[in-house]
Amino acid sequence: MSSKFRSLSSNAYLLLSLTMLFWGAHAVVARFSVGQISPMVLTAGRWLLVAVLLAAFYGKELRQALPVIRAHPVYMGMMGALGYTAFNVMMYSAAQFTTAVNMSLLQGAIPICVLLGAFLAYRTPVRGLQILGVALTIFGVILTATNGHPERLREFSFNIGDILMIIACAFYAGYTVKLKERPAIPSIVFFAALAVVAGVISLPFLAAEIALGKAQLPTLKGWAVLAFVGIVPSFLAQIFFMRGVELIGPGRAGIFANLVPVIGSGLAVLFLGEPFGWHHAAALVLVFGGIAIAERAKR
């Protein structure tokens, strides 16, 4: 192992910062995929590529854990469907209708959705400050989804893409909450198993897209999008994040996730030339303020 690789693998802050950069870029690339590759082709291709990569690097570990994985078929199927397939189906569909800035900012709601999900599923106590944090974050999400016009809630006339992205965040929050019940297998093996499950579950969605005549094979740029999404935010970012958690623990590592909306919206403005309005800035303040208050209450 080279000294540079050892330095990278032992630097949690660098690993986690790269992870958030990769995840922030995901929304931008999803938006760039419009017209280059259809959502279900991208979803299925992504997870099949990840499954192949993980099988190549961790096939032995995956085979050793098969008895444990087979003992939890419903759980593994649900986790792969919610956290990987459904989240990405909704995200790539949302990209057809909304901006990468909005998609990035709305992902800031995931920590709050996790807080609410943990309360509903396990009755995890919620303190007054956490409720205030939830309220601020929800208002930030509403401000983004209504393009700075909350009165549109009365007409229900805001962007369908933003609604899909909010649903995607709810799916991922459900996945995160249920991680508490994960079988006793290594993190990388658990991820590999879910990638295989996600690839299989995405095939019916792909078949439906083909049957409806909406499937689009990748263009040259579409192949580049598929390769990037499969290798960078799906494969490398997950491995970097797991290593970062090993080094500094899940609590401290989780705080880095708050960088995703900032990085994603910044990259969208920089590379896609998307506008960044006052309501985006206000939403950032509200979302991060809400998360900060909720975290302070938790501590």
Q: 199-249: per-residue pLDDT in tens?
A: 999 999 999 999 999 999 999 999 999 999 999 998 998 888 888 877 876
SS (H, E, C) the chain: CCHHHHHHHCCHHHHHHHHHHHHHHHHHHHHHCCCCCCHHHHHHHHHHHHHHHHHHHHHHHHHHCHHHHHCCHHHHHHHHHHHHHHHHHHHHHHCCCCCHHHHHHHHHHHHHHHHHHHHHHHCCCCCHHHHHHHHHHHHHHHHHHCCCCHHHHHCCCCCHHHHHHHHHHHHHHHHHHHHHHCCCCCHHHHHHHHHHHHHHHHHHHHHHHHHCCCCCCCCHHHHHHHHHHHHHHHHHHHHHHHHHHHHHCHHHHHHHHHHHHHHHHHHHHHHHCCCCCHHHHHHHHHHHHHHHHHHHHHC
Please provide the size of the chain in residues: 299
Q: 241-280: per-residue pLDDT in tens?
A: 888 877 876 656 666 777 777 788 888 888 888 888 787 7
**In angstroms, rounded to a whole number, what is the distance separating the alpha carbons of residues 212 and 153?**
32
Check whether 95 has a pLDDT greater than 80: yes
Record the pTM.
0.79
Least confident window among 2-6, 7-11, 261-265, 291-295: 2-6
Q: Residue 215's pLDDT is what?
A: 95
Q: Which of 110, 99, 126, 253 is nearest to 170 (CA)?
A: 110
**In angstroms, rounded to a whole number, what is the distance separating the alpha carbons of residues 15 and 212?**
42
Domain boundaries along the sequence of the chain: 11-298
Task: Take residue 145 and report the two structure tokens written for it.
Answer: 């989804």
Q: How many CB atoms lie within 10 A of CB 174?
A: 20
